[in-house]
Amino acid sequence: MRTVHWMLVVSVALFVSGIGFVIAGARSGQVASPVEGPVTTPVASVMQVMNGITGPAAVVVYNAVGYIVDADGVQEIVPQNDEEWAVIADSAAALVESGNLLLLGDRAVDDGEWVTITRRLIDTGTTALRAAEAQDVEGILAIGSDINETCDDCHAIYQRN
């Protein structure tokens, strides 16, 4: 009699476990529908993005580190505290985001060089952001010329209006 009772308990446990696995399998088999983000409507022109975000952000990063040579000698320009480094990091982040904005909607002038150069702007901005967060003076100095070169390359092809 004990063997039958034990077999019944094991059978019920296996049955309940099997039902649990079936339910778990059915739940994991459901595919979640993709969540659509909010609809955005770009309103600024390329020139407005450049004048309001890209240009000012690039100038902050470019001018953050350097040297001034005058009659008094050589003066080194470097950020002096965490707040100044934060301004550079914020500007670098704005540079990256301005690149994203330049690819949004109908702002992309073409699918070729415009996209290539804009992605280079995003990459140089990302490098500047990392350097600013690390408070890397040499990193900012090096990436400043890359940012300038990227801007010059773009303006050589796409005229400023």
86/16: higher pLDDT:
86
Q: What is the pLDDT of residue 42?
A: 84
Q: What is the pLDDT of residue 36?
A: 74
Sequence-distant (≥ 6) Cβ neighbours of residue 126 within 8 angstroms: 92, 96
Q: What is the pLDDT of residue 56?
A: 96
DSSP result, 58-112: HHHHHTSSEEEEETTEEEEE---SHHHHHHHHHHHHHHHHHHHHHTSTT----SS
pLDDT band at residue 17 under the 50/70/90 scheme: low
Phi then psi dihedrals of residue 19, to 5 deg: -65, -40
CA distance 88 to 68: 19
Residues 48-64 have pLDDT tens digits of 999 999 999 999 999 99
**pLDDT above 90 (res 118):** yes
121/21: higher pLDDT:
121
38/45: higher pLDDT:
45
**pLDDT above 60 (res 89):** yes
Q: What is the pLDDT of residue 35?
A: 67
63-77 mean pLDDT = 91
Q: What is the pLDDT of residue 38?
A: 77
pTM greater than the 0.75 cutoff: no
**Mean pLDDT of the residues in the chain:** 85
DSSP state of 135: T
